[in-house]
Structure 1
Amino acid sequence: MNRDSGRIVRRLLLGSGINGVGGGVWFTVWALYLTRDLGMPPGRVGLALMAAGTAGLVLALPTGALADRHGARRVLMLLHLVRAAAALAYLLVDGLAGLIAVAAVFNGAQVVGTGVNGALVAGLFEGAGRIGVLARIRAVVHGGNTLGAAGGALVLTVDEHWAYVAAIVFNAATFLAAAALLRGVPEAATTGRTARWAGLRGAAIRDLPYIAVMAPVAGLSLCWAMLSTGVPLWVSEHTAARPAVAAGAVVVSSLLIAALQTPVSVRVRDTARAARAAALAGVLLAVGCLLLTGASGTTAAVAVVVVALAVLAHVAGELLFVAGQWQLSLALMREDRRGEYQGLNAALTGVVQTFAPALVAALVGGLAGVGWVLLAAVFLACGAPVVPLARRAARSRPAAAGAPPAPVG
């Protein structure tokens, strides 16, 4: 890596890390801010956030196409500014309609930003360097989330309106800092024109082999709701372990991912390894689900051990899923439509994330151990077809992208 590349990476990492701290604060306090401080019924909050989640899905492809034309860096800076304004707008929310509007902008920009960030990295780096940078960004974001969660815990301890306001203002400031740091990053190459219908009828949305691969891989992102929603419900309602065990599981998971995402990701170098990584991720996540069923009906000590083993399986599965998703989404895309393809990848994952918490809560909260078995089956079903689908998609690349096929063994 030359000096200029090193400077670019440092700016990307610093901006992502600062933003990660703000995200950790917000993720920790948002639920109690909306329900306890503002007095909104939890059911309405959940409904509003689910409705708002569709905004990012609708906007991901058009925004990706705009990034292809106007530059991913420029568009990502604008998204940071939009999220800063939307974060502050939470201070003005006074009803369900206002919450839906603010959350639609805030959450929608998050989904869109994931794809644009991937397009920016893809435009600035080549080959294995792309995966290495994405992995390091994810590592610093997780580290920042952990630090931010500690700050959020202090806010919850104070549990006063002024503390929630301070947390929201701080989160908004981190988006401004991330945008400012992007000013020192060069612009990625652009295509000079926008795809038909701003991406809604462009190359990515018509690339069925690409969608066939990335859709089941996106399904593996259920692993995030498994940890954030399923484990707390299960530990508190069906095991003898204290609820704090679930919080500890999230912290341990974040620390392990921060430490291991880069070394794992750089070993997933081509399409063949990425497909196998995604398939294995499905198996490991299914194992984690089945292990959790063993935590019920035991002593507290045994439950803690079983949950710990399940979390380790979950972490291994998540590491492989993320590395596989990155490599597949980059190796199979058209280089002249990076924004479109990364926007599509973000939209597919966003679809899953919009409904994942409700699905996991229904399975685990409503069906108990049977729910974990069903969730394990979902993970296996998502991972199983990835290898043959990736092989088929790789063979279609010459016609789709004018490039030699990606290596698939």
Structure 2
Amino acid sequence: MRLLPGPGPVRTLSIATLISTVGNGLWMASSALYLTRIVGLSVPQTGLALTTVALIMLVLSTPTGYLADNLGPRGVSIGCLLALGVTELAMLTVHSLPTFLLVAAPMAVFDAAQRSARGAIIGSAVPPDRRVHTRAYLRAVTNVGITVGAGAAGIGLAIGTREAFLAMIVGDAVSFMLAGLALTRLTPVAPVRHTGSGPRLTALRDRPFLVLTVLDGLLAINFGLLEVAMPLWVADRTDAPHWMIAVVVVVNTVSVVLLQVRMSRGADGIPGAARASRRAGFALLAACLIFSTTAHSSGRLTMALLVLAAVAHVIGELWYSAGGWGLSFGLAPEGAHGQYQGTFAMGHQFGQMLAPVVVTALTLGWGTPGWLLLGALFACAGTLVPPVARWAQSSRPALT
């Protein structure tokens, strides 16, 4: 995969994404230890704090997307990235749960807004037949940036001093500011003002679109397989060496970088996107079935099955992402990409919030039957996407 495309908005977005996600990698790898070891929060307090931030982003996704449409997504994105940089520097002063929330709450608002604004920029500045390709490209770039940032964080974590953690926070703050400055090279996107007396947040009144958002959220639970269920399952329920956890993660991240663009082909239109979501559900079912067998195998067979399950999972993840992008862009009315992208993101965010509880309760709590039930959930959700997408597509004239 070429890291940077030709000159134009996609190149600018790629540069900004690469810069900001290096900072994200720094924070993702160090935040839990910073909050517990440096700030002094307990593990339950840390969980509560991070969940609160996620809830703020969830609730504000649609309103901030609406603001991005009305104020102009380029300006909103630049402003929010610069604000994120400033507020991230305030993280240096955090010393308790209340002070963390005072800093993290506005950061959640700015982050929700810049994410919705990025979707609106793609919806407005990129031709319809290239939007899914662009999102796929940016996701691959995101994985590269996070990998670089997490690798750099490894140095800071190895040092382990307060100063090392503070340096990583400063690095994250600088990455936000540089990303915002990079976006100034974008051609301004004209705002779309709301006129008339009709509803402003039309995405929240679009019933078939909301149903698709829920189905997308159920499929998004798949991220909990890699992040939560798989490491605990490998360590507690299989005879595989613990380093196989790292192997599975590497299979996933490398596959996303190399294959996301390729696996997204054909998902630009609504029918193709719906089919990708359906395929994702069955690929995730296959991954669950294979993971469940590793509790009953041994030795090299277990390791081979874990790699096979990782491949099935990442194929499902890649199709899931492509399908969601195609549906969210294809069903959004022109001029409302910000709020539609924000609304669709709510499903993904909610699914990721549910994932730790759902996957641990089913896989570790029930074992093989739990894996089968989780796989059936993915397959059912994916199967429902095409008929709901047809319903949504047929309702477009009535909405406009």
Output the TM-score relative to the length of structure 2.
Answer: 0.93
Whether the 8 Å CA contact 2:39–2:96 is kept in 1: the answer is: no
Specify the alignment match of 1:60 in structure 2.
61
Letter in 1 for 2:352: Q
Query: What's 2:149 paired with?
Result: 148
Alignment of 1:363-402 (within 5 A): 363-401=362-400
Give how far 1:143 is off: 1.0
Distance (Å, rounded) in 1 between the aligned partners of 2:196 and 2:89: 33
Structure 1 counterpart SS, 2:89 = helix
Aligned to 2:158: 157
Classify 1:338/1:363 alpha carbon distance in 2 versus 1 (closer, same or farther; 3 Å): same
Tell me if structure 1 keeps the 8 A contact 2:229–2:359.
yes
Map of 1:74 onto structure 2: 75
- 1:169 aligns with 170
In structure 2, the residue matched to 1:36 is 37
Q: Aligned partners of 1:85, 1:362: CA distance in 2, in Å?
A: 39
Task: Indicate how the Cα distance of structure 1 residues 196 and 371 shifts in structure 2: closer, same or farther if over 3 A, else same.
Answer: farther
SS at match of 2:188: coil
Mark the runs of 5 or more structure 1 residues left unpaired by the alignment.
402-409
**1:139 matched to which residue of 2?**
140
* CA–CA separation in structure 2 for the residues paired with 1:195 and 1:355: 38
Question: 2:260 maps to which residue?
Answer: 261
C-alpha contact (below 8 Å) 2:221/2:354 kept by paired residues: no
Query: Distance between the aligned counterparts of 1:159 and 1:242, measured in 2?
Result: 27
Give the whole-Å Cα distance in 1 for the aligned partners of 2:274 and 2:327.
7
Match of 2:338, as an amino acid?
G
* Residues 269-308 of structure 1: pairs in structure 2 closer than 5 A: 269-308=268-307
Check the 8 A contact 1:111/1:346 in 2, yes or no: no
The match for 2:337 is 338
* Code of the aligned partner of 1:158: I
Q: Identity of aligned pairs, percent? A: 34
Q: Distance in 1 between matches of 2:73 and 2:216?
A: 24
Q: Counterpart in 2 of 1:215?
A: 214
CA drift of 1:5 comes to 7.5
Equivalent residue, structure 2, for 1:120: 121
After superposition, what is the alpha-carbon deviation per residue over 1:178-219, rounded to whole angstroms, capped at 9, x for unaligned? Answer: 10001110122321237979x8x5211111121122320232
**Structure 2 gaps, min length 5:** none
Q: For 1:91 and 1:159, how far apart are their aligned partners in 2?
A: 16
Check conservation: 1:53, 1:108, Cα contact below 8 A: no
- In the alignment, which residue of structure 2 is the partner of 1:235? 234
Partner of 2:7: 6
| Residue equivalent to 2:318 | 319
Cα offsets for 1:106-151 (capped at 9, x unmatched): 3444344332211111110122121222111111111111122211
Which residue is 2:251 aligned to? 252
Q: Give the structure-1-normalised TM-score.
A: 0.91
The question of whether the paired residues in 2 share the 8 Å contact of 1:132 and 1:265 is answered with: yes
Aligned to 2:192: 191
**Greater mean deviation of Cα atoms: 10-19 or 365-374:** 365-374
